Every structure is written in structure tokens, then in C-alpha cells.
Amino acid sequence: MAILEVKNLTLRFGGLTAVNNLSFNIEENSITSLIGPNGAGKTSVFNCLTGFYRANEGDILFLGKSIKKLKPFKITEMGMARTFQNLRLFKYMTVLENVMAGMHCRSGAGIVSSILRLPSQRQEERRIRETSEKCLDFVGILDKKDRIAKNLAYGDQRRVELARALATQPKLLLLDEPGAGLNHDEKMQLIALMQKIQEQLGITIVLIEHDMGLVMNVSEKIIVLNYGQKIAEGTAEQVQNDQRVIEAYLGKEEEEAV
Ligand SMILES: Nc1ncnc2c1ncn2[C@@H]1O[C@H](COP(=O)(O)OP(=O)(O)OP(=O)(O)O)[C@@H](O)[C@H]1O
Ligand SMILES: [Mg+2]
């Protein structure tokens, strides 16, 4: 079953068409990569899916329902989470606090009980803390939970972001260049972690990534964008041998000659 259906999605910024009549499906519990040259529109697609940008045309069905008009927090509540191309942590908060902050959308306690510190609120707080700790454990940095986020190594900061996304208990996880800035060993660990998220938590993953080694290693399906349009979709082998993909990355011979 498709957990996500993108139908003829178009997003314009003035005269620039960042996403152009794009359609694709994401199957439940799969790992898919969205690739393409710089400026191809990959992050813009994520921004439309998560409600950060409003698409000009087309529709997005998540779990069979249109989310095109929903606000970001509603989409998070439905079970979509993301990480960002540039880290967006609360630098001066602890690792645990960063993850707990991500769980706000799942917190059922109202403002009155929060102010009065009612037992229900304390229970809620405990539940949020426990889930956050579980997520930190899952990504392998529970021992660093009380450290200030900005003092962590870059690779660990990326893990905090991942734990924060997991804490919202998503069904679909969107990762925008999770491998950026990681060394070879850290990339290998990231691949293992994504597979663990898929297998043990049953979460569907879509990642944007420039590292072809990583993409080819982890993806069941690859979608290739160029100038906002889908130019290929298929297995690693299929897209690697696709003439349009080769041209998009290497340029056409005629263009190179100019
Ligand atoms: N908020 C915005 N306002 C105007 N133009 C934008 C905005 N966001 C993106 N764009 C433009 O839309 C196009 C697609 O950008 P986008 O960030 O989606 O590309 P990308 O594929 O994620 O690239 P990269 O690999 O460099 O991250 C680019 O031409 C970009 O300059
Ligand atoms: Mg991008």
C-alpha cells in the first residue's frame, strides 16, 4: 500500500518553477531516495509534503487523506517527521531537552493542567521524558543526554535531530541530506541506523542524499529530479544506466563543448 501519493505537484517562486508537475508514490515500510543536482527541487518537495510551503497545483495524499491544506503541526500529528539539511537544534539546550521539545505535538496535557502542575501533567511529562530517552538510546547517544547540544560532535548532533524526529512517533520519516558532513564510518553507521528504523520500528523513510554510495546502498527505489521534474524512477541499477540521469549529472556533450 502507498503511504504517500504525490500527484502532479507544482510549486512556483515567482517565475521559477521549483517543483514541476511531479508525481510519485511511496510504499509503506520502504526506503526511497530523492536525488538530483543542486537546485533540482528536492528540499522544496519536502517543504511541500510537511506543509512548510503550499504547492500551487497538485495534491498530496498521506495515509490516503489529502494533506495539501493542512498546517505543519497537523501533518506532524498525522505521523510525518523530518530532519533538515542544515541542523536545527536548540544549541543551548541539553540533548534530552531537544528531543523532548520534538514531542510537543504528541502531548495531550492542556495549558491549565500545565500551569497547575496537575498529576496528569506530571504523568505526561514523565511519559515524554521516557519516550525521548528511548529514542536517544535507539540512535545510540543516551549516555550524552545531559550534554549541551552545541558541544556534541557534528555526527552526534545529527543523531539528536534524528532522535527528535523519532520521538514524534512518525509513520513516515523525511531525511534531508542525513549523510552531509559525516565521515565514511559515520555514513556506514547511518545506513545501519536507517535500516534499523525501517525494520524494528516499521517506519517508512524518504531521504535526500548526494552521496551516491550511500544512496545505492540503502535505497529500494530512487527518484531522480532535475529542474523540478522527475526524470527517472527505479532501482539503483535502473537509474544509474538511465541516459537522462547521466546527462543531468554530467551535462550533455554538446553543452560541454560550448
Ligand atoms: N524560499 C524560496 N524562495 C525562492 N526560491 C527558492 C526558495 N526555496 C528554494 N528556491 C529555489 O527553488 C529551486 C529548488 O531549490 P531546492 O532547495 O528545493 O533544491 P535542492 O534540490 O534541495 O538543492 P540542494 O541539493 O542544493 O539542496 C532553486 O532554484 C532554489 O533557488
Ligand atoms: Mg536541498
CA 209 to ligand 2 center in whole angstroms: 9
Indicate the Cα dihedral angle 212, 214, 218, 222, nearest 10°: -20
Ligand 1 pocket, Cβ-based, cut-off 6 angstroms: 13, 16, 18, 36, 38-44, 85
d(CA 116, CA 108): 15
The dihedrals phi and psi of 28, each to the nearest 5 degrees, come to -60, 140
Query: Is 32 strand, coil or helix?
Result: strand
State the pLDDT at residue 32. 98
Lowest mean pLDDT segment, chosen from 11-15, 84-88, 95-99, 195-199: 84-88
CA 6 to ligand 2 center in whole angstroms: 18
The predicted-structure confidence for 38-66, as pLDDT tens digits, reads as follows: 999 999 999 999 999 999 999 999 999 99
Atom of ligand 1 nearest to the CA of 44: 18
Domain locations in the chain? 1-45+70-79+170-258, 88-168
Atom of ligand 1 nearest to the CA of 36: 21
d(CA 148, CA 94): 4
Q: How is the beta sheet containing 2-13 ordered, strand by strand?
A: 16-27, 2-13, 57-62, 65-66
Identify which has the larger pLDDT, 124 or 132.
132
Report the chain's terminal Cα–Cα distance, integer Å: 47
- Give the distance, in angstroms, between the CA of residue 146 and the centroid of all CA atoms in the same chain: 25
The predicted-structure confidence for 182-208, as pLDDT tens digits, reads as follows: 999 999 999 999 999 999 999 999 999
Report the chain's mean pLDDT, rounded to a whole number. Answer: 92
State the pLDDT at residue 116. 67
Hey, whose CA ends up nearest to atom 27 of ligand 1?
Answer: 38
The predicted-structure confidence for 152-171, as pLDDT tens digits, reads as follows: 999 999 999 999 999 999 99
CA 100 to ligand 2 center in whole angstroms: 26
Select 1-45+70-79+170-258's CATH number: 3.40.50.300, 2.60.120.650, 3.90.1150.10, 3.40.50.620. 3.40.50.300
Identify which has the larger pLDDT, 113 or 150.
150
Atom of ligand 1 nearest to the CA of 228: 14
Hey, whose CA ends up nearest to atom 30 of ligand 1?
Answer: 39
